[in-house]
Amino acid sequence: MYKSAALLPLRPILLVGLAALLVLAPEASADLISPESGPSKNANDIDTLFKITLYIGIVIFLLVETTLIYSLIKFRARRQGAEAAQIRGNTPLEISWTIGAALILVMLATVTFVYLPGIKDPPASKASAIEAAEGSDYATINQKEPPGGNALEISVNAQQYIWRYDYEDSKDQLFSFHTLYAPVNTTVTLKIYSSDVVHSWWVPKLGGKADAVPGHTNETWFRADEEGTYEGTCAELCGEGHADMRTRVVVLPADEYEAWAEQQASDIKEAQDGLAEQREEREAADEDAGEVTPAQEKKTHKEEKNPPPPPGEEEGG
């Protein structure tokens, strides 16, 4: 008989390591051991859920790896060492670790379903939110409407290699490319679709990603409780420009957001008027030259290039 002398000096080190890990883990910079979070509840809940899985994982990891390393050290072949014990199994032991593993997973699944509504269902906007339009009227099996209906609805149209944001509640057909502007404390529901290949909308600090699949509408939401600029990117390989298909969400105080919306609307109108003017000039010039149809042709061509309406709307109609 020999004791586990080889391992005894290691034991305190292991214990200290374990303690240090558990103490330091929450202290460590958030993105080292868990997903991004901060301004939005869905991202925060995902972060918490992930940490629960992580802590359970760390316990299992330490259990398995220390037993493995302990066995390797303690039971190495030695001269005059013990003969290998010819054990072929131990049914009660095997049944109990099977049940143990299953119980941990049942627990994890339960915790997931507890956290799911907070991540999946958009909450109401805060009292200080801007007065958004009457929520959205689309039917969906997936994402609930925010209670009270006071939410901003924005369509996200992914295309190689840029994001187009349409502000559905604005009366001026407001849109922007690359950067999404949103008011603080306001629930923003996103309808995500693609006009070419599969993309994925992902702004890590504002929650999980949602794939943009052609022919489908996907949904997600965020409610940024802090002003700021949040970087995001396309998360599904979409071609040559995939890595450059980045995006940004700028969260502004309510008044600044409204000022932006006004400015953007007038900029768009100005640009469109300018284009219309050019078109008229060209048509006039074409008529002078005796050609009849190019304007008509140009118009149909332009319509094709426009993104198709989100299928959700068609289905709803």
Partner 1 sequence: MEATTVTRPRPEIIMRGYREAPKGWLGWLSTTDHKRIGIMYFAAALVFFVVGGAEALLMRLQLAQSESTLIDAQTYNGLVTMHGTTMVFLFVIPILAGFANYMVPLMIGARDMAFPRLNALSFWLLVTGGIVFYTSLFFEPPTAGWTMYAPLSDNAYLPDGGVDAWILLIHLTGASTLIGAINLIATIHNMRTRGMGWGRMPLFVWTVLVFSYLIVLAYPAIAAAVTMLLTDRHFDTAFFDPIGGGDPMLWQHLFWFFGHPEVYIMILPAFGIISEVLPVFARKPIFGYKAVAASTVAIAFLSMLVWAHHMFATPTATVVLGFFMISSMVIAVPTGIKIFNWIATLWRGSIVFKTPLYFAAGMVGLFTIGGITGVQLAVFPADWQLHDTYFVVAHLHYVLFGGSVFGIFAGIYYWFPKMSGRMLGEGLGKVSFWLMFVGFNLTFLIQHSAGMSGMPRRVYQYPDTGDLELYNLLSTIGSFVLGIGVVVTLVNIVRSVRNGKLAGNDPWQGNTLEWFTQSPPPPNNFDAIPAVRSVEPMKDIRREVAEGTGQQAGSVAQPVA
Considering only residues 14 through 43, tell me which ones interact with partner 1, judged by CB under 8 A: 29, 31-36, 43
Among 98, 179, 229, 266, binds partner 1 (CB under 8 A): 98
Question: Taking contact as CB under 8 A, which single stretch among the options 13-21, 68-76, 254-262, 294-302 is the one that binds partner 1?
Answer: 68-76
Residue with tokens 């909450």: 123
250-309 binders of partner 1 (CB under 8 A): none
Q: Specify the residue, 183 or 208, whose C-beta has the smaller distance to partner 1.
A: 208
Does position 168 interact with partner 1 (CB under 8 A)? The reply is no
How big is the chain, counted in residues?
Answer: 317
Cα distances (angstroms) measured from residue 220 to each of 58, 70, 83, 191: 31, 47, 61, 7
Q: Specify the residue, 101 or 284, whose C-beta has the smaller distance to partner 1.
A: 101
234: Cα separation from own chain's centroid: 10
121-160 binders of partner 1 (CB under 8 A): 141-142, 160
Among 228, 241, 274, 316, binds partner 1 (CB under 8 A): 241
The rounded distance, in Å, linking the Cα atoms of 33 and 82 is: 42
Q: Specify the residue, 115 or 175, whose C-beta has the smaller distance to partner 1.
A: 115
Does position 248 interact with partner 1 (CB under 8 A)? The reply is no
Cα distances (angstroms) measured from residue 86 to each of 65, 83, 154, 184: 23, 9, 67, 67
Q: Are 174 and 268 in contact (CB under 8 A)?
A: yes
Does position 237 interact with partner 1 (CB under 8 A)? The reply is yes
The rounded distance, in Å, linking the Cα atoms of 4 and 73 is: 9
The rounded distance, in Å, linking the Cα atoms of 61 and 147 is: 42
Q: Which two tokens stand for residue 117?
A: 């509504």
Question: Taking contact as CB under 8 A, which single stretch among the options 12-20, 112-120, 181-189, 282-290 is the one that binds partner 1?
Answer: 112-120
Q: Strand ranges (DSSP E) for 94-197?
A: 151-159, 162-167, 174-177, 179-183, 187-194
CB of 198 to partner 1, least distance (A): 5
Among 22, 82, 276, 285, binds partner 1 (CB under 8 A): 82
Does position 90 interact with partner 1 (CB under 8 A)? The reply is yes
CB of 109 to partner 1, least distance (A): 6
Q: Are 170 and 183 in contact (CB under 8 A)?
A: no
x/- letters, 170..209, toward partner 1 (CB under 8 A): --------------------------xxx-x-x-x--xxx
**Which residues does residue 192 pair with via DSSP β-bridges, in sequence order?**
156, 218
Q: Specify the residue, 215 or 290, whose C-beta has the smaller distance to partner 1.
A: 215
Q: Give the interface size with partner 1 as a residue count (CB under 8 A).
A: 89
Q: Specify the residue, 170 or 220, whose C-beta has the smaller distance to partner 1.
A: 220
Q: Are 245 and 234 in contact (CB under 8 A)?
A: yes
Among 166, 211, 283, 286, binds partner 1 (CB under 8 A): 211
Instruction: Name the CA dihedral angle for 285, 291, 292, 296, rounded to a multiple of 10 degrees.
Output: -70
